[in-house]
Structure 1
Amino acid sequence: MKRRDFFKKSSGAVIASSLLPLTSSAKDKKTVTFDVGDRDKDNWFQVGEGKKGLPNRNKTITCDVVVVGAGIAGICAAVASARTGAKTILLSDRSVIGGNASSEIRVTVNGVQNLKNEHKVERETGIVEEFQIENWYYNPQESYPMWDHVIYDYCTRQENLTVMVNTQAIDATTEKDKITSILCWQGSTETYYSINAKMFCDCSGDGLMAAQAGAEYRTGREARGEFGESFAPEKADGWQMGASVMMITKDMGHLVKYIPPTFAIKYEADKMHDRKIKQMKEGFWWVELGSDFDIVADQEENRHKLLGYMHGVWDYVKNSGKYPESENIALDWVGSVPGRRESRRFMGDYLLNQNDLQNYKHFPDAVAYGGWSLDEHCPGGIESPDQRPSYFHAKFNKLYEVPFRSLYSKNISNLLFAGRNVSVTHMALSSTRIQATCGLMGQASGTAAALCVKHNWTPRKIANNKIDVLQEQLLRDDVYIPNRPAVDPKDLLHKANTIIASSTNSGDVKLLTNGISRKEIGKVNHWESKGNNAYLQMEWDTPIQLSSVEFKGDTNLQRKIMMHKNPEKNKGQVIGIPPELVKSAIVEVRKNGVWQTVNSVDNNITRLVKMQFDQVKTTGVRLRLKETWGKENITLFEVRCYA
Structure 2
Amino acid sequence: MMCFPQTYGGWFSRTVAAIAAVTLFASGQLRQSDAAEVFVECESFDSLGGWKLDTQFIQQMGSPYLLAHGLGKPVDDAVKQVEVSESGTYRVWVRTFDWVARWDAEGSPGKFALSIGGENLETTFGTEGKQWGWQDGGTVKLARGETEFRLHDLTGFNGRCDCIYLTTELEATPPPTDGVLTDWRRKQLNLPAEPFERGPYDLVVVGGGYAGMASAISAARMGCRVALVQDRGVLGGNGSSEVRVWAMGNIRRGKFPRIGEIVEEFSDKATKSPGRYEEFGDDLKERVVRAEPQIDLWLHHHAFDAVVQDNKIVSVDALNTKTGQVVRMLGDRFADCTGHGWLGQFVGADSDMAPGGRMGMSNMWRWDEVDQPTEFPETPWALDLKMEDFPYPRDHHGQWFWESGFDKDAIGDAEGIRDWNLRAVFGAFNAMKNRDGASDHKNAVLTWVAYVGGPRESNRLLGDVILEQDDIVAKREFPDGCVPSTWSIDLHYPKEEFADKYPDNPFISKAVHDRRVDRMYGYPVPYRCFYSRNIDNLFMAGRNVSVTHEALGTVRVMKTCGMMGEVVGKAASICAANDCSPREVYEDHLPELLKMLDLPGKARRSTPSAPITIDPGALPRASKFGPPSGLDPAKLDGMIVDDRDAELQGDWKDGSSGRRYVGYGYRYAGNGSGATATFTFVAKDNGTYRFGLRTAPFDNRSTSAPVKLQHNDVETNHLVNYQGSEDGEFVLVTTLELKKGDTVKLIQLTDGVKGLVHLDAAQMLKQ
Cα deviation for residue 285 of structure 1 reads 2.4
- Tell me whether 1:370 sits opposite 2:505 in the alignment: no
Q: In the aligned structure 2, how far is the partner of 1:278 from the partner of 1:194?
A: 45
Cα deviation for residue 522 of structure 1 reads 13
Amino acid at match of 2:233: S
- Tell me whether 1:462 sits opposite 2:585 in the alignment: yes
Structure of higher RCO (CA pairs closer than 8 Å, 6+ residues apart): 1
Q: In the aligned structure 2, how far is the partner of 1:175 from the partner of 1:266?
A: 52
Q: Which residue number in structure 2 is paired with residue 101 of structure 1? A: 239
Amino acid at match of 2:510: S
Q: SS state of the match for residue 242, structure 2?
A: coil
Cα deviation for residue 433 of structure 1 reads 0.9
Q: SS state of the match for residue 288, structure 2?
A: helix
- Tell me whether 1:258 sits opposite 2:376 in the alignment: yes
Q: In the aligned structure 2, how far is the partner of 1:257 from the partner of 1:280?
A: 21
Cα deviation for residue 68 of structure 1 reads 0.3
Q: Residue deviations 1:107-137, cap 9 Å, x none?
A: 1111249x9xxx9xx997311111137x79x
Label 1:404 to 1:254 Cα distance change in 2 as closer, same or farther (>3 A): same
Q: Residue deviations 1:149-176, cap 9 Å, x none?
A: 2211111121201111111111111111
Cα deviation for residue 257 of structure 1 reads 3.2
Q: In the aligned structure 2, how far is the partner of 1:170 from the partner of 1:250?
A: 39
Q: In the aligned structure 1, how far is the partner of 2:476 from the partner of 2:265?
A: 29
Q: Residue deviations 1:65-84, cap 9 Å, x none?
A: 11000011111111111111
- Bigger Cα displacement from structure 2, 277-286 vs 199-208: 277-286
Q: Residue deviations 1:412-449, cap 9 Å, x none?
A: 01101111100011111122111111111111112212
Q: In the aligned structure 2, how far is the partner of 1:413 from the partner of 1:434?
A: 27
- Tell me whether 1:202 sits opposite 2:343 in the alignment: no
Cα deviation for residue 308 of structure 1 reads 0.5
Amino acid at match of 2:450: G
Q: In the aligned structure 1, how far is the partner of 2:402 from the partner of 2:613?
A: 55
- Tell me whether 1:58 sits opposite 2:204 in the alignment: no
1:201 touches 1:446 (CA, 8 Å); kept in 2? no
Amino acid at match of 1:407: F
The CA RMSD measured in Å over matched residues stands at: 4.2
**Taking structure 2 as the reference length, what is the TM-score of the superposition?**
0.52
1:92 touches 1:165 (CA, 8 Å); kept in 2? yes
Q: Residue deviations 1:271-311, cap 9 Å, x none?
A: x5xx5325042213222222536311111122221111111
Q: Which residue number in structure 1 is paired with residue 224 of structure 2? A: 86
Q: Which residue number in structure 2 is paired with residue 295 of structure 1? A: 410
Q: SS state of the match for residue 442, structure 1?
A: helix
Q: Which residue number in structure 1 is paired with residue 739 of structure 2? A: none
**Corresponding residue to 2:260 among 122, 125, 131:** 125
Q: Which residue number in structure 1 is paired with residue 516 of structure 2? A: 396
Q: Residue deviations 1:93-120, cap 9 Å, x none?
A: 112221111111111111249x9xxx9x
Q: Which residue number in structure 1 is paired with residue 458 of structure 2? A: 343
- Tell me whether 1:73 sits opposite 2:240 in the alignment: no
Amino acid at match of 2:368: K
Work out the number of aligned pairs and report it: 443
Amino acid at match of 1:212: F
**Corresponding residue to 2:303 among 169, 172, 175:** 169
**Corresponding residue to 1:452 among 575, 599, 604:** 575
Label 1:185 to 1:386 Cα distance change in 2 as closer, same or farther (>3 A): closer
Q: In the aligned structure 2, how far is the partner of 1:20 from the partner of 1:324?
A: 55
Q: In the aligned structure 2, how far is the partner of 1:292 from the partner of 1:396?
A: 27
Cα deviation for residue 393 of structure 1 reads 3.1
Q: SS state of the match for residue 281, structure 2?
A: helix
Q: Which residue number in structure 2 is paired with residue 438 of structure 1? A: 561
Cα deviation for residue 146 of structure 1 reads 6.8
- Bigger Cα displacement from structure 2, 103-112 vs 317-326: 317-326
Q: In the aligned structure 1, how far is the partner of 2:524 from the partner of 2:472?
A: 7
- Tell me whether 1:187 sits opposite 2:321 in the alignment: yes
1:58 touches 1:193 (CA, 8 Å); kept in 2? yes
Amino acid at match of 1:42: R
Q: In the aligned structure 1, how far is the partner of 2:4 from the partner of 2:630?
A: 53
2:421 touches 2:507 (CA, 8 Å); kept in 1? no
Label 1:459 to 1:283 Cα distance change in 2 as closer, same or farther (>3 A): same
- Tell me whether 1:424 sits opposite 2:531 in the alignment: no
Q: In the aligned structure 2, how far is the partner of 1:522 from the partner of 1:285?
A: 25
Q: In the aligned structure 1, how far is the partner of 2:362 from the partner of 2:507?
A: 17
1:249 touches 1:280 (CA, 8 Å); kept in 2? no
Q: Identical aligned pairs, as a percentage? A: 28
Structure 1 segments unaligned to the other structure (5+ residues)? 1-16, 25-36, 48-52, 221-236, 480-489, 494-511, 532-555, 560-643
Q: Which residue number in structure 2 is paired with residue 214 of structure 1? A: 348
Label 1:123 to 1:89 Cα distance change in 2 as closer, same or farther (>3 A): closer
Label 1:520 to 1:491 Cα distance change in 2 as closer, same or farther (>3 A): farther
**Corresponding residue to 1:410 among 529, 533, 539:** 533
Label 1:351 to 1:524 Cα distance change in 2 as closer, same or farther (>3 A): farther
Q: In the aligned structure 2, how far is the partner of 1:112 from the partner of 1:102?
A: 19
Q: Residue deviations 1:333-360, cap 9 Å, x none?
A: 1111111111100000011111112112
Amino acid at match of 1:215: A
Q: SS state of the match for residue 286, structure 1?
A: coil
Q: Which residue number in structure 1 is paired with residue 356 of structure 2? A: 238
Q: In the aligned structure 1, how far is the partner of 2:239 from the partner of 2:346?
A: 26
Label 1:20 to 1:310 Cα distance change in 2 as closer, same or farther (>3 A): same
Q: Which residue number in structure 2 is paired with residue 602 of structure 1? A: none
Structure 2 segments unaligned to the other structure (5+ residues)? 10-21, 33-37, 39-82, 86-188, 603-610, 615-619, 639-661, 666-767
Q: Which residue number in structure 2 is paired with residue 11 of structure 1? A: none
- Bigger Cα displacement from structure 2, 288-297 vs 73-82: 288-297
Q: Which residue number in structure 1 is paired with residue 6 of structure 2? A: 21
Cα deviation for residue 466 of structure 1 reads 1.7
Amino acid at match of 1:418: A
Label 1:460 to 1:397 Cα distance change in 2 as closer, same or farther (>3 A): closer
- Bigger Cα displacement from structure 2, 211-220 vs 394-403: 394-403
Q: Which residue number in structure 1 is paired with residue 114 of structure 2? A: none
**Corresponding residue to 2:284 among 139, 147, 150:** 150
Q: In the aligned structure 1, how far is the partner of 2:587 from the partner of 2:3?
A: 38
Label 1:359 to 1:523 Cα distance change in 2 as closer, same or farther (>3 A): farther
Cα deviation for residue 59 of structure 1 reads 0.5
2:340 touches 2:458 (CA, 8 Å); kept in 1? yes
Amino acid at match of 1:156: R
Amino acid at match of 1:265: L
Q: In the aligned structure 2, how far is the partner of 1:379 from the partner of 1:241?
A: 9
Cα deviation for residue 248 of structure 1 reads 2.2
Q: In the aligned structure 1, how far is the partner of 2:663 from the partner of 2:444?
A: 36
**Corresponding residue to 2:399 among 281, 284, 291:** 284
Q: Residue deviations 1:5-41, cap 9 Å, x none?
A: xxxxxxxxxxxx99443559xxxxxxxxxxxx99999
Q: SS state of the match for residue 183, structure 1?
A: strand
1:69 touches 1:93 (CA, 8 Å); kept in 2? yes
Q: In the aligned structure 1, how far is the partner of 2:214 from the partner of 2:466?
A: 22
1:18 touches 1:61 (CA, 8 Å); kept in 2? no
1:518 touches 1:525 (CA, 8 Å); kept in 2? no
**Corresponding residue to 2:31 among 26, 42, 48:** 42
Q: Residue deviations 1:335-387, cap 9 Å, x none?
A: 11111111100000011111112112222101201121222111699644889
Q: SS state of the match for residue 333, structure 1?
A: strand
